[in-house]
Amino acid sequence: MSWFSKLLLPGRLRTGPTALLPARPDPKTLLAVAQLADPEARTDGDDILAGGSRIQPPVELTADVLAKLGVPDDDGLWACRIAAEGPLPVDFFDKSLAEGIAYRLGGWSLCQGEPLDPAEDAGDPLVYLPAVPEPEEILPVLSEALRHAEAVDAEKWPEGELIEGVVHVPVRGGRVADVYAGADVLVTIEEGHRLPPAAQTRWPYLTEIAIARVSPVTRTEEPEGVPDADAAPGPLDAASGTDADTDTDTDTGSDTDAGSDAEDVPSGNDAEGADEVRAALLVRAAVAVTLANALRGIAADSRGFQLAEPADVLPGGYA
């Protein structure tokens, strides 16, 4: 790499989504990870094409380059930049792709000068479905998969009905069609989503799909409070602000305090809390996989990467 390219590299990496990885990924492993998001992902020379995005080959970043990017790592990282092929991918899929690659390979993601550790927020597992399932179709599955609720909270869900341990709330407002709640897991069915690459491969004849979001029941106060699909996070409606054409002269992000506590030794309570979060995530992933198998859907994580089994939702699985 020429000296001129090295000068431009930090700016190029800051503008577009980038996966920052602790080790150089094996090309076959990187392709396998990309195919979790887009089963039709393929190599194109040294690049990988996935979901309308191009995953560029890894470039080694030294400590001085990382300092310009605002990433606190003295040992160096490997960067895989995600570049859109033509117009920006639907629903900022390139950003989700960078985060998902980093999540599975134990790294960071970087977008618009802001480093992010995806492992700190795994998000909610999803199930892609060809259509909204009827209550009589999904309730028996949830009754087996969820820890049962003992009663309906009339204040929270005045329209709710307890059926075999599952509270069913028909919403039919906006994109939210139905809400199902067990003792600690909430399943929200949303309709009218555009097809992510994984679903497009399975159902090429559809123009819209339904999505079941599997979240903690304590996070939502009432069905009407479930975020509309247009505002919900994830690969279909990612956080706003991702723009691959952002001026490279913007702030480098060197003031970020990300990782400033990296050397702190976690307390016993912190470790217990992390174990509880991990266990709860596995429970929700198990519900998603069960629903996908029973309803002929596709289980995925919050960034659109497919889950074959619950453990696939944990970070660093391909590291």
User: How far from chain centre, in Å, is Cα 61?
Assistant: 25
Q: What is the pLDDT of residues 286-307, one digit of tens each?
A: 999 999 999 999 999 999 999 9
Of 32-36, 81-85, 119-123, 262-266, give the lowest mean pLDDT range: 262-266
| Contacts of residue 174, Cβ cutoff 8 Å, sequence gap at least 6 | 228, 229
Q: Which residue has the higher pLDDT, 305 or 234?
A: 305
Identify the CA nearest to 234 among candidates 207, 196, 204: 196
Average pLDDT over residues 119-126: 93
pLDDT of 107 higher than 60: yes
Identify the CA nearest to 242 among candidates 130, 110, 47: 110
Identify the CA nearest to 139 among candidates 184, 190, 178, 177: 178
- The pLDDT assigned to 85 comes to 76
- The pLDDT assigned to 240 comes to 32
Angle of CA points 139, 144, 148, to nearest 5°: 85
Average pLDDT over residues 230-237: 41
Average pLDDT over residues 114-137: 93
Q: What is the pLDDT of residues 45-89, one digit of tens each?
A: 999 999 889 999 999 887 777 777 666 665 678 999 998 776 555
Q: Which residue has the higher pLDDT, 278 or 240?
A: 278
Q: In the structure, what pLDDT confidence band is assigned to residue 270 with cuts at 50, 70 and 90?
A: confident
- The pLDDT assigned to 76 comes to 76
pLDDT of 135 higher than 80: yes
Distance in angstroms (rounded) separating the CA atoms of residues 64 and 47: 26
Burial class (CB in 10 A: 0-12, 13-18, 19+), 123: buried
- The pLDDT assigned to 16 comes to 67
| Contacts of residue 303, Cβ cutoff 8 Å, sequence gap at least 6 | 37, 96, 97, 99, 100, 103, 118, 123, 234, 235
The model's pTM is 0.79
Q: Which residue has the higher pLDDT, 161 or 252?
A: 161
- The pLDDT assigned to 45 comes to 94
Kindly state the percentage of the chain with pLDDT values over 70: 74
pLDDT of 261 higher than 60: no
- The pLDDT assigned to 269 comes to 72
Q: Which residue has the higher pLDDT, 84 or 214?
A: 214
Q: What is the pLDDT of residues 89-106, one digit of tens each?
A: 555 678 899 999 999 999
- The pLDDT assigned to 86 comes to 65
Residue holding tokens 């391909």? Answer: 318
The full 3-state SS of the chain, as one line of letters, equals CCHHHHHHHHHHHHHCCEEEECCCCCHHHHHHHHHHHCCCCEEECCEEEECCEEECCCEEECHHHHHHHCCCCCCCEEEEEEEECCCCCHHHHHHHHHHHHHHHCCCEEEECCEEECHHHCCCCCEEEECCCCCHHHHHHHHHHHCCCCCCCCCCCCCCCEEECCEEEEEEEECCEEEEEECCCEEEEEEEEECCCHHHHHHCCCCCCEEEEEEEEHHHCCCHHHCCCCCCCCCCCCCCCCCCCCCCCCCCCCCCCCCCCCCCCCCCHHHHHHHHHHHHHHHHHHHHHHHHHHHHCCEEECCCCCECCCHHHHCCCCCC
- The pLDDT assigned to 266 comes to 52
